[in-house]
Chains A and B, each alone.
Chain A
C-alpha cells in the first residue's frame, strides 16, 4: 500500500447494484497523484468523451487526494470528476467540508459511480462495509432535510454528500453538497449524480492513515502552517471578512461585472461587500476540516422578508446574485444563496443565468408572459423567486435550469451568454484584467476562476503585481497557475493555501507523506500532465480552437466607463502565445512531442 493513501477505491455499478473494492495503482498515483488528476485519468479511460453526460454511460468519480485527511493544513478536500452536462467538457469540481477525510478513514480514496439505478438509492459506507438502500423517501427532500433525516437515522458520526431537487431534476448546474453549505458547485456534477438516481452517500470511518516519513511530514506541515498563519491573507483577512472582501477592490478596479457584464462597476457594491457582511449578518466564520483559514460564513438575516440563517454568501455569490443581477439588497442575496444551498445548485451559474434573462427581458426579447412575471435588473424579489423556480424546474425556471448559453440561444440572442464553453464566467470582467481573459478562454471546464487565478497577480499583487491592462507575460503566468492548480487539486488541499505557499512547500508535504520523491519541478509537471489530459478529453468530445474564446461583448464592445474604460480583451495575441508556450499547435492541439514528454 502507498503511504498517505487509503489504498483502495470503491467501484459501484448502480445499474446492477454491484460494489467492488479495487487497489489504487501505485504507478498511476505517482504520475497523477489523486483527486482531480487520478480521477481524470480514470475517467478518460472509462468514458467515451462523446457520451451523453446524463446517460448511464457517464461515470462520476468522487476522489480525495493523498493529503486529504492527514494533518496537512486545509487537507479536507475532494473532487467530483465527470463529463459535465452544462459544458460537454471534462467537469471537475472541488469541495471542502468533512466528507473527504471521512471517506479515507473508512478505507477508500475514491468512489467510482457507474451506470444508473432504476430507483432512488442511498449508499452507506461504514469502515469498508458498503450497502445500497432504496431512497424513495429521501427523493424530493432538499439538502438540509436530507442531511437532518440521515443524521437522525444513522447518527451524527456519518458525514454526508447529497443532491437536492435541482440534482434530481437534472438542472444542468446542480451541485453536490456536503455539510449543508459546502458545494462541489460548478459544472453540474450534481445533475450527473441525479441522473444515476443516487440521492446521497453517508460515510463513517474509524481507520487511520500512515505517512512515509512522519518526522519529515510533521516538519513540512509545520513549515506550511507557520507561513499560512504569518500571511496577512490566510492568517487573518479571510477569517475576518470572508472572500467577499474582494468586492470593493474588484469594483474600484472597474472589473466587477454588473448587469450581465454591461458595466464594470456596481454603484451599490459596498452594500454587498465583505465589510458589510461582517457588520450586518455574520454570525461566525466557519472552517473545513484542518483549516486555520476559516473563509466560510455562517450568517443570519435578522429581519425583513428574507429572515433566515445559513451558510454564505461568498464573493462569487454576492456578485452573481447581486451585482450581476443589479440587486443591492444583501438580505435578498443571502436568502437566494440559502435557497441554492438547499435545492443544491451552483450560485454562479444560477445568478448569471437570471442576469442573462434580465437582459433578454429588458431588450424586449422575453415578455412578462414568457417569464410569468417582470424580470428587470435590480428586482431582488425576482432573484429569490427564480432561484426556487429553477431548483424545482417550475414554470420559467424550467427554461433557466438549462443555463444561460442554452437560454440565450433559444431566444435568438446567443451573444448575450456571458461565458465560455457554455459555462458562465465568474466575477471578473477581463476587459480590465487581461490575463483573466486568456484564462477563461482556455479553462478546460469553461468559464472559471479557479483553474488559474490571475486576479492574484493582476489585481491583488500576489505574489507580485502585474499590469492588468497589458497582454504581455499573461500567457506564461496563466500556464504556471493552471499547472499549479491542477496539481494542487490532486493532493487534497484547498486552493487558498497558495496565497501563502507554493509548489516547494506543497511538494515537500507530498513527498514526505507518500514517500514518492517529488520536488517542486515534478509537482508542476504533474499539473501540466493533468492539464494536457483534460485538453485531450475535450478534443475527443469535439471541442476545437473556436471554443477557446470569449463572448463578443468582451472582444468588441469597449468597457463603457471606469478605470478600464475603452478597453476590450486582446485575446488573439495572448491565445497564440499561450498555445506556443504550451507546446500545442496553432489549433490548440498538444503536439506529439509534448505528449511524449509528458508520458501521455
Chain B
C-alpha cells in the first residue's frame, strides 16, 4: 500500500532522498503501524510529538495505517 508522509520543521531531514519540500510517497506492507513508519524513516519516537492521520490527531502509535492515507508528523512546535 502507499502512504503519503509529510514531515515538518526539523523532521524534514528524515525525508527520503528525492522527496518534495515536506512530503514523500512511501510504499509499505499492509498492516503497517504508525510506529513501524517512524522506524522505517528513522525518526526517534520521542521527537515525533504530533502525528495527524488525514488531519486527525492520533495518540495511538500502534494504529494500523490504511492505503492512501496521509500521515503528518511534527516535533514539538509553538508560535502564535
Contact = CB atoms under 8 A, between A and B. Distances in A.
Size range of the interface on B? 20 to 34
Contact of B49 (A240, A253, A461): A461
Interface in B1-37: 6, 8-10, 12, 21-22
Size range of the interface on A? 35 or more
A463 to B, nearest CB: 11
Contacts of A244: 79
A425 to B, nearest CB: 13
A255 to B, nearest CB: 10
Given A236-B10, A461-B50, A246 B80 contact: yes
At the interface, is chain A mostly helix, strand, loop or mixed? helix
A462 interface: yes
Contact of B78 (A233, A252, A253): A233
At the interface, is chain B mostly helix, strand, loop or mixed? loop
Contact of B80 (A237, A241, A254, A449): A449
Contact of A253 (B8, B10, B52): B52
A233 B50 CA distance: 13
B76 A245 contact: no
Of residues B52, B74, B76, B77, which shows the largest number of chain A Cβ atoms within 10 Å of its Cβ?
A: B77
A314 B79 CA distance: 9
Interface in B30-80: 47, 49-50, 52, 54-57, 59, 72, 74-80
Contact of B79 (A232, A243, A465, A468): A243
Contacts, number: 97
Interface stretch (A216-224, A270-278, A353-361): A270-278
Interface stretch (A125-133, A170-178, A450-458): A450-458
A315 B49 contact: no
Of residues B9, B12, B72, which shows the largest number of chain A Cβ atoms within 10 Å of its Cβ?
A: B9
Of residues A232, A234, A243, A468, which shows the largest number of chain B Cβ atoms within 10 Å of its Cβ?
A: A232
A460 interface: yes
A275 B21 contact: yes
A248 B11 CA distance: 13
Contact of A249 (B10, B12, B50): B50
10 contacts: A233-B78, A237-B10, A245-B79, A246-B80, A248-B6, A248-B74, A252-B52, A295-B79, A462-B76, A562-B55
Interface of B: 6, 8-10, 12, 21-22, 47, 49-50, 52, 54-57, 59, 72, 74-80
Interface of A: 231-234, 236-238, 240-246, 248-249, 252-254, 270, 274-276, 279, 295, 314-316, 449-450, 453, 455-456, 460-462, 465, 468, 496, 499, 562-563
